[in-house]
């Protein structure tokens, strides 16, 4: 690897708990010249940074990047261009940059767009990815249920962008994961009630954070308004050998 240029690392930090960080991720964070992450609405390092900050030395350069929560492609493209320019100022001088993201950087992550932008502008920059704990797997663990068994099919639907796909997904998939379900929770709840699936659906909010809440059923939650960081997992078909009843603590 040509060290006249730095490496851009995409580092998955998991959905909340600091002890879910992998050993490989720890090593990259210890060695990188700069840590980059999305900023919060106040312009400070955001949630990914709060997960890993206890592992960062005090003199580490932190780049809090403006990654707006919008769907307008022109606004997003401009933000990715600005962020890429900040990273390239370090990478082109030989410094390694670790971009940290919640969950896994390959799963609905801003890193995908940022890495592509860096590669388009400077294809000589090496890009490496460190996988991590993916939120659907962590949510299934919180619900004390398998995400899939045997030959079960799993569908993952970004609820606020693809609610119209939910009906079709429930027809062919044994398990459906609904990401960021809060804005459409009332419609999802009604749809699942009509199908008789409220008892087969679980809700997890603020996964991995101290404020985490777990609901093993959606029955009785018709008026509930979950926060933005919420996920629903639905079993549209019964498990082959029945539903598990695991008497395990929620960690």
| pLDDT (tens digit per residue) in 78-110 | 989 999 999 999 999 999 999 999 999 999 899
Which superfamily is assigned to 135-235 in CATH? Tetrapyrrole methylase, C-terminal domain (3.30.950.10)
Domain with CATH 3.30.950.10 in the chain: 135-235
pLDDT number for residue 250:
42
User: For the chain, where do the domains classified as CATH 3.40.1010.10 start and end?
Assistant: 8-130
What is the full DSSP assignment across the chain?
Answer: --TTSPPEEEEE-BSS-GGGS-HHHHHHHHH-SEEEEEB-TTSSB-HHHHHHGGGS-TT-EEEEE---S---HHHHHHHHHHHHHHHHHHHTTT--EEEEESB-TTSS-HHHHHHHHHHHH-TTS-EEEE----HHHHHHHHTTS-S--TT--EEEEEHHHHGGGHHHHHHH-SEEEEES-GGGHHHHHHHHHHTT-GGGEEEEESTTSTT-EEES--TT-TT----SSEEEEEESS--TT----------
pLDDT tier, 150 (very low <50, low <70, confident <90, very high otherwise): confident
Q: CATH classification of 8-130 is 3.40.1010.10, yes or no?
A: yes
| Confidence check: pLDDT of 245 > 60 | no
Per-residue pLDDT at 246 exceeds 60: no
pLDDT per residue over 46-87, tens digit each? 899 999 998 887 777 999 998 877 777 888 899 899 999 999
**pLDDT at residue 248 in the model:** 42
């Amino acid at each position: 690897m040509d060290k006249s240029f730095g490496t851009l690392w995409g580092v998955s930090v998991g959905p909340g708990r600091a002890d879910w960080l992998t050993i490989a991720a720890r090593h990259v964070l210890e060695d990188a010249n700069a840590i980059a992450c999305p900023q919060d609405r106040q312009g400070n390092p955001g949630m990914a940074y709060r997960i890993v900050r206890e592992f960062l030395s005090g003199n580490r350069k932190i780049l809090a990047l403006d990654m707006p929560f919008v769907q307008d492609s022109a606004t997003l493209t401009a933000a990715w261009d600005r962020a890429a320019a900040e990273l390239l100022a370090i990478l082109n001088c030989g410094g390694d940059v670790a971009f940290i993201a919640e969950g896994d950087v390959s799963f609905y992550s801003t890193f995908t767009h940022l890495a592509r932008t860096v590669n388009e502008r400077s294809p000589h920059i090496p890009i490496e990815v460190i996988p991590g704990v993916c939120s659907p797997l962590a949510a299934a663990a919180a619900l004390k249920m398998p995400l899939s068994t045997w030959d079960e099919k799993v569908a993952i639907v970004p609820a606020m962008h693809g609610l119209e796909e939910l009906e079709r997904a429930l027809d062919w998939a044994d398990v459906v994961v609904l990401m960021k379900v809060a804005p459409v929770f009332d419609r999802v709840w009604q749809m699942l009630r009509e199908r008789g699936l409220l008892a087969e659906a679980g809700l997890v909010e603020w996964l991995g954070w101290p404020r985490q809440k777990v609901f093993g059923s959606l029955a009785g939650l018709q008026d509930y308004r979950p926060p933005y960081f919420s996920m629903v997992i639905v079993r549209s078909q019964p498990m082959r050998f029945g539903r598990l009843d695991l008497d395990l603590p929620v960690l």
